[in-house]
Amino acid sequence: MQEIIKSSLVKSYSYFTYREHVANLLKEGKSTGNEQSESLTKYSELNEVRMNRLEKTIQITERVAQSLENLQANYIWIVISEGWCGDAAQLLPIIHKMAELSEKIDLRIVLRDENEALMNQFLTNGGKAIPKLLILDAETLTVLSDWGPRPEGAKNLILDYKTRHGVVDETAKTELQKWYLHDKGISTQKEIIALVEKVEKQLV
């Protein structure tokens, strides 16, 4: 696993270089990933708008901020993402703002299709669902915990919709975006910080 992680880190991006990479591809009419289509490019364009808005509006709670500022161990956070992924667009700005609050966290972003070996270690029900956050010991590169691809409330919304309608269609995606808008990133912060605090207790 360590060799897979080392290989992925070599190809990783900072949050800002990731944003730049996605934006540059869009200028060429492309999205990230192996598959290219008009719809994926449109999703990527929409996600750029979402992320720009969230960077300005998302607030990290005082409780979460205090916990992050008091971390003792050093961590690498790897997020597996793609520019066209709607959930990643909603969650990456939150994860970025959390990581910024601690000198103990080095946030790196890797593209799913460029890091298949890593993605295959963190499948969700056999699928390559993203984003996935991996919390690593910075010294050993051991994966201490992982999270994603959605907070519980969002996951349950999609599961319930699929149970009722049999598919995840555009209406479901619209309902999901409404959920994210209403939640304001609170669920994501709570779930991630709970994992971080659990890991911190084990290490320190």
Over residues 102-159, the pLDDT tens digits come to 999 999 999 999 999 999 999 999 999 999 999 999 999 999 999 999 999 999 999 9
Residue 190 DSSP SS3: helix
End-to-end CA separation in angstroms for the chain: 23
> Domains of the chain by range and CATH?
2-203 (3.40.30.10)
* Per-residue pLDDT at 203 exceeds 90: no
Q: What is the pLDDT of residues 10-40, one digit of tens each?
A: 999 999 999 999 999 999 999 999 999 999 9
Give pLDDT, residue 141: 97
Residue-wise DSSP of 135-160: EEETTT--EEEEE-SS-HHHHHHHHH
What pLDDT is stored for residue 202 in this prediction? 87
Give yes or no for residue 196 having a pLDDT over 90.
yes
Residue 106 is classified by DSSP as E
71-92 pLDDT per residue, tens: 999 999 999 999 999 999 999 9
